[in-house]
Structure 1
Amino acid sequence: MDATTGRLVRKLRLRHLELLAVLAEAETMRSASAQLHLSQPAISKMLGEIEACFGARLFERNHQGVHPNALGAAAVFHARSVLNQLARATEDVGAMQQGAHAVLRVGAPSVTATVPAAIARLRERMPGAAVQIREGRVHELIQRLLAGELDCVYGAVTPELIAADITPLLEPVAMLQDELCVLASTSHKGGPGSGRRRLRWSDLGASPWLLPPKDTLVRQAFVTAFLNDGATPPVPVIEAISSVTIGALMRQDPSLLCAVRLEHAMDEIARGGVRRLEIAPKVPLPSFGLFLRRDGMERPQVLLAFADAVKAAATRLGAPRRRALAAPVA
C-alpha cells in the first residue's frame, strides 16, 4: 500500500464513499443532504475532506448544482464498487450463516445452454455453493461486473462491447465460437431440409420465417447470409425475440423456419420438437465468452470451479465446429 492509499484508508470513512455515490446521482447538495439526513454544511464539509484526501477537485459547483468532473467520475465509480463489495460481503455472510458454503453471482443472457449445464456441474463438485443468476444485455451485465455487483459474465462479444473500450478491464476465461443456425420443427415435412441435398441460403427464400427484430445481430447476419448467396433476404411472417415465444411457435406451427444463435439452438434442440438444418455456407457470429474483472485479486474457489465447469459444459454440449479456447485463470 503506497502513502497516498494509506492516507485514504486512514482518513476516509464509508460515509464519505456513500456521499460520492449519492452526490453523483442527486446532483445538488440539497438533494444529497435529504437522502443522507445531513445538513448542507455537513455535506460541503465532507466533500471538502474527500477532495483534500485525493488532492484534487472532484466536483464542479455552479448555480445548476454539483457534477463530477473526469477525476470525480473515476472516484465515484470506485466508491460504488467498494460499497457494492461491502453489500456483497453482508449478503455472503448471511447466506453462509444459513448453510451456503460459497456464493457466486453470474450474469448471463436469458437463453443459454452452457450456463445451466455449467451450474449443474458446479453443484455436483460444490454442493454447498449458492448461485445467483442475473439476466440481461451483455453490455449492462459487464458494467455490473466492473462495478463489483457480479463475479462473472457469460455473453457475446458484441460490437457494442468492443466499442465501449473496456476490454482491458476484462479477463476472458473461456471463448466459445458461435454461428447462425436454422431450426425447423421435427414435424416439418415436404419443405427445405426434407431431402438429402445440402441446402444453401438461396434455397430458403420462399419459406415462412420466424426471425428476431432488425436491430439484432442474428437478424443482420441472416440478411447478410442471403445477400452473400446472391438472394433476396425473405421478410419474416413473424418477428419475436422472446425465447419462450419462439420455442412455443416452432412447436405449434411446423411450417416455420427460425434463425437463432448456436447457444439458443442447443437449448431448443435439448427441449425436443425441433431440429437443426445444415445450411451452407456457415455464418459465424461474435463469440461467447466468460469474463471476469481484471483486478489482480485472488479468485475465490467457487469462481475458479465455475470457469472450469463452463469449459467442460461447452465441450460436453459439443455442437459441430464449436470449441472452447481456454485461457489461464489467475
Structure 2
Amino acid sequence: MVSPLNAIVSRLRLKHLRLLIALDEQGSLHRAAQQIAISQPGATKALHDIETAFGASLFIRSSQGLQANDLGRCVIRYARLIHSDLAHLREEMVGILEGQGGRLSVGVIMGAVPLLMRALTRLRDVQPALSVEVIEDTSARLLTLLDEGRLDLAICRSSVSRRPDAYDCLTLHDETVDVVAHPTHPLAGKDQVDLAELARHRWVIYPTNMPMRLLLERELAAAGLEFPRYPVETASTFAMFSLLQEDPSLVALMPADAAAFGERFGMLSRLPLTLASRNEPYGVIVRHGMALSPPAQMLLDELRR
C-alpha cells in the first residue's frame, strides 16, 4: 500500500528526485550515480529510501538494468514537475531581487489568444527579461491548472466549474463569434448566407458542453434545424485552422478575434451571417483571495487596456 502523505513528505529529499530523473534517463544505477556525482552504494541506499518513503516498488530489476514500472513512471513524472517548479521558483526570485523580469504562467482559451498576445507584446516591451509560459486549453482544464498552482492567472470562464465561487474574476471581456470557411469555399464571397444553407455543409465544431458548441446548438434549435452530422470536433486553434486549410468544404464557428487573425493572413473568410445568440463573456480568473505576482499584475493592467 502506498505510504500516507506525511510519511512521504518527511522522508523524501530533493536528492531523491534527482536520482529518479537520472535513473529514467540512464536506465542504470551505476550511470545514474555518475550523472548526479554520488557513489553507487550511495545511489543504492537512496533508491531503497525512495521506495521505502513511497511504500512501493518503483522499478523492475533485470540483468539489463532498472526499468520503471507503472508506479515508477508516475513518480518520475512528478519528480520532473517538482524539479521544473524549483527552476521556475529560482527564476522568479532572481527577477524579484533584480527588480525586473521574473516568470509568468498564464492560461488562455482560444477566443482570447489575440487579446493575450497583444497584451504580452506590450508587457515584454517594458519587461524584456520576463519569461512567459502560455497554455491554451479549455476553461475546465485551465481552472484545474489554476487550482494546482500551475498558472498565475487564466483568461477563461469560471462558470464551467462546479465551484465558481472559488475564483475571482478581475475583468470581463465580451466575445463575439463568426462563421468561417476556407477562402475557396462555395459560400465565401457571397453577399448573404442563411443558417439553413450552412447546416447542409460539413462542420468543424467544439466538443460537447463547451460554450461555442452550446451557442451553435441554440442557433440551430431556434431555426428548427438539425445539428450537423459527422462533424470533426476539436478545441484546438491550430487543429481548426489546419482542418479548414486541408478541407475547403468545411465550415466552422470561431471567436471573432481568431477569425479576424485568420482572414488577415488569407487563411479563411468570414461568412456573412449574423448570429442571434451571444457567447458568455470570458474573464481574467484567479483563485479567490490569491495575491497576484508583480508580472501577473502588470499583465492584468495591459489586458484592461
Task: Quickly name the TM-score band, shorter chain normalised.
Answer: 0.5 to 0.7
Is the 2:88–2:103 contact (alpha carbons within 8 Å) kept by the matching residues of 1? no
Is the CA contact (8 Å cut-off) linking 1:181 and 1:262 kept in structure 2?
Answer: yes
Aligned to 1:285, the other structure's residue is in SS state: coil
Question: CA contact under 8 A between 1:100 and 1:130: conserved in structure 2?
Answer: no
Measure the CA separation in 2 of the matches of 1:156 and 1:278. Answer: 28
The aligned runs of 1:105-184 (5 Å cut-off) are 105-109=105-109, 112-157=113-158, 159-161=159-161, 163-165=162-164, 167=165, 169-184=166-181
Secondary structure, counterpart of 2:180 in structure 1: strand
Residue 227 of structure 2, aligned match among 233, 258, 273? 233
* Residue in 1 that maps onto 2:216: 222
CA contact (8 A) 2:94 2:102 kept: no
- Partner residue of 1:248? 242
Structure-2 change in CA distance of 1:260 and 1:118 (3 Å): same
Distance in 2, Cα, partners of 1:241 & 1:270: 22
**C-alpha contact (below 8 Å) 2:173/2:281 kept by paired residues:** yes
Report Cα offsets for 1:62-83 as digits up to 9, x if no partner. xxx9xxxxxxxxxxxxxxxxxx
Report the count of equivalent residues.
Answer: 235
| TM-score, normalising length: structure 2 | 0.63
Q: 1:185 aligns with which of 182, 185, 191?
A: 182
Structure 2: how far apart are the matches of 1:229 and 1:269?
28
Read off the aligned partner of 1:105 and give its amino acid letter: S
Question: Within the alignment, does 1:195 sit opposite 2:190 as a pair?
Answer: yes
Identity %: 19
Distance 1:248 1:139, change over 3 A: closer
Q: Note the C-alpha offset of 1:274.
A: 0.6
| In structure 2, distance between residues paired with 1:237 and 1:135 | 22
- Contact 1:180–1:282 (CA under 8 A) maintained in structure 2: no
Which structure 1 residue ranges, 5 or more long, are not aligned?
1-24, 38-64, 66-83, 313-330
Aligned equivalents of 2:126, 2:115: Cα separation in 1: 17
Q: CA deviation at 1:220?
A: 2.8
What TM-score results when the alignment is normalised by the length of structure 1?
0.59
Provide the rounded CA distance (Å) in 2 between the counterparts of 1:110 and 1:210. Answer: 14
Contact 1:179 1:282 in 2 (8 A): no
Q: 1:8-49: per-residue Cα shift (whole Å, max 9, x none)? A: xxxxxxxxxxxxxxxxx9536665665469xxxxxxxxxxxx
2:301 is matched with 308
Aligned position for 2:73: none
Does the residue aligned with 1:106 lie in a helix, a strand or coil?
strand
The superposition leaves residues 161-214 of structure 1 with CA deviations (integer Å, 9 ceiling, x where unpaired) of 2x324x3x433222111244211112223x3x54323x3322322222222333
Across the aligned residues of Structure 1 and Structure 2, the Cα RMSD in angstroms comes to: 3.5
Contact 1:180/1:283, CA 8 A, preserved across alignment: no
What one-letter code is carried by the residue in structure 1 that aligns with 2:299? F
Higher normalized strand content (fraction of residues): 1
Contact 1:182 1:260 in 2 (8 A): yes
The whole-number CA distance in structure 1 between the counterparts of 2:222 and 2:239 is 29
Q: Please tell me whether residue 286 in structure 1 is matched to residue 287 in structure 2.
A: no
Contact 1:180 1:222 in 2 (8 A): no
| Cα distance change, pair 217–246 in 1 and its aligned pair in 2 (3 A) | same
- Does the Cα contact within 8 Å between 2:100 and 2:127 map onto a contact in 1? no
Q: Partner of 2:42 in structure 1?
A: none
Paired residue for 1:92? 92
> In 2, are the aligned partners of 1:184 and 1:257 still within 8 Å (CA)?
yes
CA distance 1:201–1:128, change in 2 (3 Å): same
CA distance in 2 between counterparts of 1:93 and 1:256 reads 49
**Partner amino acid, structure 1, of 2:172:** M
CA offset at residue 147 of structure 1?
4.8
Residue 254 (structure 1) shift: 2.3
- Structure 1 residues 136 and 227: CA distance shift in structure 2, 3 A: closer
**In structure 2, how many angstroms separate the alpha carbons of the residues matched to 1:237 and 1:110?**
19
The 1:31–1:131 alpha-carbon spacing in structure 2 relative to 1, beyond 3 Å, is closer
For residues 263-319 of structure 1, the C-alpha deviation after alignment (integer angstroms, 9 at most, x for no partner) is: 54344334432121232333222211112344374x54433321122233xxxxxxx
Describe the superposition over 1:44-100 as per-residue Cα deviations: whole angstroms up to 9, x where unpaired.
xxxxxxxxxxxxxxxxxxxxx9xxxxxxxxxxxxxxxxxx99886433124568996
